[in-house]
Structure 1
Amino acid sequence: MLEYICHPRYIYVTRIMALIFALLLSAQVFAEQRPNIILIIADDLNWDDIGAYGNPGVKTPNLDKLAKGGMRFDNAFLTASSCSPSRASMITGRYPHNTDAEQLHWPLPAEQITVSEKLREAGYWTAAAGKWHLGEAIKERFNEVRESEYAIDEPSGSAQWVPLLEERPKDQPFFMWFASWDSHRPFYQGEYPVKHTQSDVRLPPYYPATELYLNDFAAYYDEIARLDESVGKVVQTLEKQGVADNTLIVFVADNGRPFARDKTTLYDSGVKTPFIAYWPSGIPKGTASKSIISAIDLAPTFLTLAEADIPQSFEGKSIDGLFQEPNEAFREYAISERNWHDFEDHGRSVRTEKYRYIRNNYFDLPATPSADTVYHKTWWELTRLFEQGALTQQQARPFLTPRPKDELYDLKNDPFELTNLATDIKYQGVLQRHRQILDSWITSTKDFIPSFRTLDDFDRTTGAYAPHRKRPRPSKMEMYHASGQY
C-alpha cells in the first residue's frame, strides 16, 4: 500500500486533484465576493431636490448618509425625459429609440436583451418590486416581480422592497430593481414621515411664487421624504443581514420633477439625475465625481462588477473605474431624447460640461408638459396667469409657439437655462460644435424622425382625456423617415 501511495503517478494525480479543488474553492470564494446590486429608481425627482445635492429644505437624511458614505455623481444624465422610455433605457443599456419603447407606455419588446437576464445567467438571484412600467414580456427576465399599482396597493410603491430582501435565497448574490412611485402625481394625501412648509421651498425662477405653487412644492418635498425613509429601511435590512458591506446601492431618478418646465423637457431639470453609488467595500467614502455619465452606463457597470459578458447591443460603458478615480475623463457629452409623452413632441439634446444644446424638431408645437401636470391645479393657475399676461417670458415657455429650433445654454453662468444663446453671434462656434456632435450621434445610433406625428391623448389646455385619439403602435419601418435622414 505504501508503495502504491508513493508511486509518482499517484502523487501526480493527487496534486492535480488538489489543484482542481483549490480552483473550485477559489471560484466559490470569488462568487461570494461579487457584489450584490440594488438599483433604486425614484419617480419624477429633480436632481438637486435632495440634501446631498445642495437643497437643505428637503429632509433626506438617509440619502444624504448614502452620499457621505459613498460617491455622488454631479453630472449624471438620463437618456429620456419621461418615465417608461427612461427605465427601458436603463434596463437595456440602449438609447430609447433603439429599445423600440421610446414612447410613453410602449412595452419593452421581448427581443430586447436586459441586464437582469444577464445577471441571472451569471448566477445572480434577480427581483423587482414597486412601479413596473416596462411591459409584461420583460417580467420573465427576473426570478420574481412584485408590481405595485399606484394608489391601489400603497402610495409609495416600496412596500415589497424589504420583504424581498428578507425572503431572497441566502446562497446567491442578488440584483434588485426597486422602483418607487414617489414623487409622481397625484401626491398622496395621508401621513408623511416629514411635513414641509413654504419656508422649506426653493422655487426655481421659471415658476410664479404664488401660494399654490409654494404649497405644492412643499407637498412634493413630502413625497421625497417618504422615499428617503424607504431607502433607509433597505440599508437597515442589509446591515441587519450582514451584507451591506458588499452591496452596491445605486440611487437615481427616471426624470425631473412633475412640474411644467421640468418633467418631459430636455433641460437639466428634465434629464439630469441624482446619482448616488454606495458600496462600503468598493467605493471610498464621501467622494464626488464631476465626470459626465449616462443612464445607459448602468447596465454595463453591473455586468462588469458581476464578471459577466456585456452584450453587443448595450450602448453604454462601465463606470466601475470612476469608483476609484472619480474625475478621470469618461464621456465628452451625454445625449437625451424627447419623444411622445401624452402629447406629441420630438427633440434631442447634447449636454457637455458647460453647455446644453437642444434641437426641437417639432418646434411648431408648444412645450406642453405631461398629462399628470396638465390636469393639475398648478397648470390651471399657470394658464390663468399666462392669459392675464402676468408671467415672465421664462415662466410662459410651456405656452409659446413657435419654439426656437435650436437652444443653447451656458450652464456655468445660467444654471436655470433662461437665456438662449443660439442666435448670439459670439456663440456660433459653440453652437456648431454641438450640432455636429448631435449629427454624428444620430448617424451612429441610427436615430430618425418618425414619418408621421402621433396624436395627443389629452387636450393641451384643459388636460381632458381624448379616448378617440387612442394611438396604435406602428412598426419601426412605418415610423422611419422616408429618406432615412434626420
Structure 2
Amino acid sequence: PFFVWYAPFLPHTPHNPPERLLRKYQQPGRQDDVSKYYAMCEWFDETCGELVDYLDGKGIRENTLILYITDNGWRSTSENADDPHQAAWERYALRSKGSPYEYGIRTPIMLSWPSRIEPVRNPGLAHAIDFFPTIASAAGIEAPRDLEGINLLDLSAIQERDIVFGVTHSIQDITIGNPDNNLQYLWCVSEEWKLILRYPGVDTTRFKAIHEWDSAPARLYNLILDPHEQRNLADDHPELVSKLSEEIRTWHAVDLDLIR
C-alpha cells in the first residue's frame, strides 16, 4: 500500500497561469481576475492528470483510491463589485475564503476508485472530518469508533447523516490554548437549512474584513431556494434558529449569550 498527499500551491495566488491557458478563458465582458483564476484551475487539473496517467502507466489505477479536495473556496473581487464593503478588501470577494458562507466552505469532495466506486453524484452531507475514516476503511484499518467523521465509501452512513457543523476562526491568529478567543462564527447545515452564528472573538489581523461589518447575530438560509445566501430568514423562523443553536452548543460548548 502507498499514500500520496499531493498539495500544490495551485490555484492559489499569485495567479500567473501560462499564456496558452489564459487565452482560453479571456473573453469580452469577463474580468481579468476571473480569467486568470479559471486558467489556474485548469493548470492544476493538468498536473492532476499527470498523476493519473502515471497510475495508469503502472497498471494500478483501478485499485487506487483518489480523494480530491480543496481547503477553502475562493471568489474574485470583481464578482462582488456591487458590495459596498468590498472596497476595503482587495484580496478576494467577501463571503468567500475565510468566511462561513458557501463560497468559503462549500468545496468539492470527490472520490475515484474504478474497481470499487460507480460514478455518481451524491447530495448527502460530507465534511473534512470524513477523510480519515474513509482512507482507513480503504486501507482495511478499523478507525476508532468515537470519531465524528463517517466513511464516505458507506452510502448508508451518508444517508443517515442529518447535520454537519463547523467553525470559522480568525485566519492566522489562533490563540494557542484558547482557540475560542479568536472564534468568529459557528455554523451548521441540516437538510436544506444553514444557520450561521456570529461570535465576538478577537481579530487583530488583516483578515477581519467580513467579521467587522457582518454584524447580524444569526443568519438562517434555505440553501435549496437560496444557494447564494442572499435572504436571511432568521426572523421568520425563530424556533428553527433556537433548535439549531442548541445543536451547535451541544457540539461546541459556547456561551450563546455572547452571540451578537
Q: Judge same fold: TM > 0.5, yes or no.
A: yes
CA displacement at 1:357 relative to structure 2: 0.5
CA displacement at 1:418 relative to structure 2: 1.1
Does the 8 Å contact 1:363/1:403 carry over to 2? no
SS at match of 1:439: helix
- Distance in 2 between the 1:369 and 1:406 partners? 24
| Aligned residues: CA RMSD | 3.0
Aligned residue for 2:137? 304
Aligned residue for 1:289? 122
Change (3 A) 1:232 1:281: same
Aligned residue for 1:197? 26
Aligned residue for 1:403? 215
The equivalent position to 1:339 in structure 2, one of 164, 169, 173, is: 169
Aligned residue for 2:79? none
Aligned residue for 1:415? 227
Letter in 2 for 1:197: Q
Structural mapping, 1:363-402, within 5 Å: 370=207, 398=210, 401=213
- Distance in 2 between the 1:299 and 1:216 partners? 35
Q: How many residues align?
A: 231
Does the 8 Å contact 1:422/1:431 carry over to 2? yes
- Distance in 2 between the 1:250 and 1:192 partners? 28
TM-score by length of 2: 0.78
CA displacement at 1:341 relative to structure 2: 0.7
SS at match of 2:191: coil
Letter in 2 for 1:357: L
- Distance in 1 between the 2:48 and 2:32 partners? 25
Aligned residue for 2:67? 250
Does the 8 Å contact 1:293/1:330 carry over to 2? no
CA displacement at 1:355 relative to structure 2: 1.2
Does the 8 Å contact 1:271/1:336 carry over to 2? no
Does the 8 Å contact 2:125/2:158 carry over to 1? no
Change (3 A) 1:402 1:175: closer
Does the 8 Å contact 1:333/1:350 carry over to 2? yes
- Distance in 2 between the 1:399 and 1:280 partners? 43
CA displacement at 1:439 relative to structure 2: 1.4
- Distance in 1 between the 2:12 and 2:108 partners? 16
SS at match of 1:346: strand
The question of 1:217 aligning with 2:34 is answered yes
Larger displacement relative to structure 2 (306-315 or 415-424): 306-315
Structural mapping, 1:9-88, within 5 Å: none
Letter in 2 for 1:435: S
Does the 8 Å contact 2:17/2:39 carry over to 1? no
Larger displacement relative to structure 2 (254-263 or 239-248): 254-263
Change (3 A) 1:402 1:432: same
CA displacement at 1:192 relative to structure 2: 5.1
Deviations 1:117-150 (A, max 9, x none): xxxxxxxxxxxxxxxxxxxxxxxxxxxxxxxxxx
- Distance in 1 between the 2:50 and 2:137 partners? 27
The question of 1:262 aligning with 2:96 is answered yes
Structural mapping, 1:17-166, within 5 Å: none
Change (3 A) 1:328 1:250: closer
Aligned residue for 2:160? 330
CA displacement at 1:253 relative to structure 2: 0.8
Aligned residue for 1:188? 16
SS at match of 2:167: strand
CA displacement at 1:317 relative to structure 2: 2.0
Give percent identity, aligned residues only. Answer: 26
CA displacement at 1:282 relative to structure 2: 0.3
CA displacement at 1:330 relative to structure 2: 3.2
CA displacement at 1:413 relative to structure 2: 1.4
Change (3 A) 1:432 1:291: same
Letter in 2 for 1:271: I
Change (3 A) 1:365 1:407: farther
The equivalent position to 2:3 in structure 1, one of 155, 159, 175, is: 175
CA displacement at 1:440 relative to structure 2: 1.4
SS at match of 1:174: coil
Change (3 A) 1:310 1:439: same
